[in-house]
Structure 1
């Protein structure tokens, strides 16, 4: 995660813990893959071993080493939270509790994905974009562009949000289809659900089948980023409906969005552009750019914290 090797485990009491995957002796990686631990964690380099709570259990031949204090060599723990069958880790040791900014997140997930704990990863997609990651999040944060940029999608979605939640750490958008999608076995009234979580996590649950698409923007420079999409579905053969709707959204709508954000990136560098204007109405209607405004405030606050 963010270039850092980590591992997540469940201890004997059932508590989920996360640690940086690095031995405190010489920095060797501790674990690979997945599985079960019989006793503890043993480094394959010099056999330093750790208890499941991260404390150093044994360091061979250190009995006569002067001032050797095992308590100083515990694994570095990482903040981890569980919500709606998902695990969230935060590399910031001083971060606020997950519930502070994401308290209602689970409430918005569970009605749509009640059995998400049983889902498995079925596909990973990767896109290289000629746009800053924030421009990509901007586009995801509003539906104002859908009637113009995605007319096929606009024809089947109700003009309005069926539900909307805006909290400090995430946004939730629930749309419903007005009609079925042409050529797809999707009924009118089917939900199309989107989530945004600060700073780069976006998620979609597409209509017609059980699924979750997890999108992350990974910065590669000022004007480039990568978009990684992990697709989750119930274990077993993938529903043909998911394959069809995934193709529509990722091979068509997402390609339209890539063209949009790359055009915006070029425009932001133009001498002819200075300052835009948010379209925010008091009723937070479907076309309102309130989530976009919120995201920009989050960016500014994060930059101010970096400035000290």
Structure 2
């Protein structure tokens, strides 16, 4: 059920149940161990990259990064150089940054504005819509069909002002793929929120090590003793598992009347309903997009593999009524506080990677609080193909009765 349709009393009852339970619910299935090889085995990680990452809907950027027709930016986070452009009609499109002559890049900067693209190697020219319009020394090309030499498009769709790309041309449409989550996210007015800030952090660990940490609150008392654990009650947290690997985590404040002092005086999103406005909700769009939404600004976290043993975390912010020319001074404090919490999660990651590569790591016994992680791995096997995952690396599909489909 959508969070904005849940009665406040029902949410409170669910949180109270979670606080008071002595064991997992009786009908919750046993979670088998996650095989350790899924984090370190090169063959499995290659399978993961080819069958999942290369076919997933992945966040590329925000429409504020494309203010005018002809604006463009380049993203490499997906593992491929993808050019995101606003064409002359105002539509957002995506293409591989690859000239159709000999593969040279069309742009080498991270962002810019132009009326078209000209390859710097041999001068082939393309429109903002990706159509080939001119080649140098055309007389020396025999029967060159311009219509067959357009830039190769990448699937590009939007969630409000958020731009997602997918290298799988046959992928399910983004909004269909999000399923029940899509309707719930309407309350955040994502088509009106402005781009505030974005920062990247390169970390020496497999991407799943950090992603796992943002799918549970079991670690708060160890890692965030002086920050998040002071105001969040992890014992009252409850989870919703959705199809296609997506999920939601709702964690109550320790005191019902507590409000983040860093948000006082900031503009609010008026359409956000009572439950997410007064609690801490975090959405996960599979595989790597985490959105701990609030009614005064939303951090957007992405976790990108850069190799089998390294990753990049990108932390961005969107907010209502933000003026980039005259930003509120409150943002500097808020982002710095957020970065402090983020560093707490990053601090041990390289050492965890080292430990996972030892013979001492054989697998992960997950608890009830960590069921979003198991849900993530079940979905990974489905995307790879259940009969394609090596038996020693496979996870058992046990959470199907726990997934909310409407």
TM-score surpassing 0.5? yes
Query: How big is the shift at 1:82?
Result: 0.9
Distance in 1, Cα, partners of 2:97 & 2:291: 27
In structure 2, the residue matched to 1:254 is 342
Match of 1:145 among 215, 219, 240: 219
How big is the shift at 1:90?
A: 1.4
Measured at CA, do residues 160 and 16 of structure 1 come closer, stay the same or move farther in structure 2, by a change above 3 Å? same
Q: 1:143 & 1:231 partners in 2: Cα distance?
A: 21
Matched, 1:26 2:102: yes
The equivalent residue for 1:132 is 206
Cα displacement (A) at 1:19: 0.9
The structure showing larger relative contact order (alpha-carbon pairs under 8 Å, at least 6 residues apart) is 2
1:170 aligns with 2:258: no
What SS does the corresponding residue of 1:67 show, helix, strand or coil?
A: coil
* Structure with greater proportional helix content: 2
Residue 45 of structure 1, CA deviation: 4.9
Number of aligned positions between the proteins: 294
Pairwise CA RMSD:
3.5
Distance 1:166 1:262, change over 3 A: farther
Tell me the distance in 1 between the aligned counterparts of 2:279 and 2:102. Answer: 51
How far did 1:101 drift?
Answer: 2.3
1:1-308 counterparts in 2 under 5 A? 1=76, 2-31=78-107, 33-35=111-113, 37=115, 40-43=116-119, 45-62=121-138, 65-112=141-188, 114=189, 116-126=191-201, 128-151=202-225, 152-158=227-233, 159-161=235-237, 164=240, 166-177=242-253, 178=255, 179-180=257-258, 184=262, 190-205=278-293, 210-233=296-319, 234-236=322-324, 237-251=326-340, 253-280=341-368, 288-304=369-385
Q: Distance in 1 between matches of 2:190 and 2:93?
A: 22
Deviation digits for residues 14-47 of structure 1, max 9, x if unmatched? 543211122212334334533353xx54445544
Whether the 8 Å contact between 1:120 and 1:235 is mirrored in structure 2 is no
Give 5+ residue unaligned stretches, structure 2.
1-75, 266-273, 390-406
**Mind listing any 5+ residue stretches in structure 1 that lack a counterpart?**
281-287
Q: Name whichever structure is richer in strand by fraction.
A: 1
CA contact (8 A) 2:292 2:300 kept: yes
Once residues 169 and 243 of structure 1 are traced to their aligned partners in structure 2, the CA distance between those partners, rounded to angstroms, is 34
Partner of 1:283: none
- Structure 1 residue 13: deviation in Å? 4.7
Q: Whole-Å Cα distance in 2 between the matches of residues 214 and 116 of structure 1?
A: 15
Distance 1:97 1:89 in 2: 11
Q: Can you list the C-alpha shifts for 1:34-82, whole angstroms capped at 9, x where unaligned?
A: 3353xx5444554433344433233354256323222321110100111
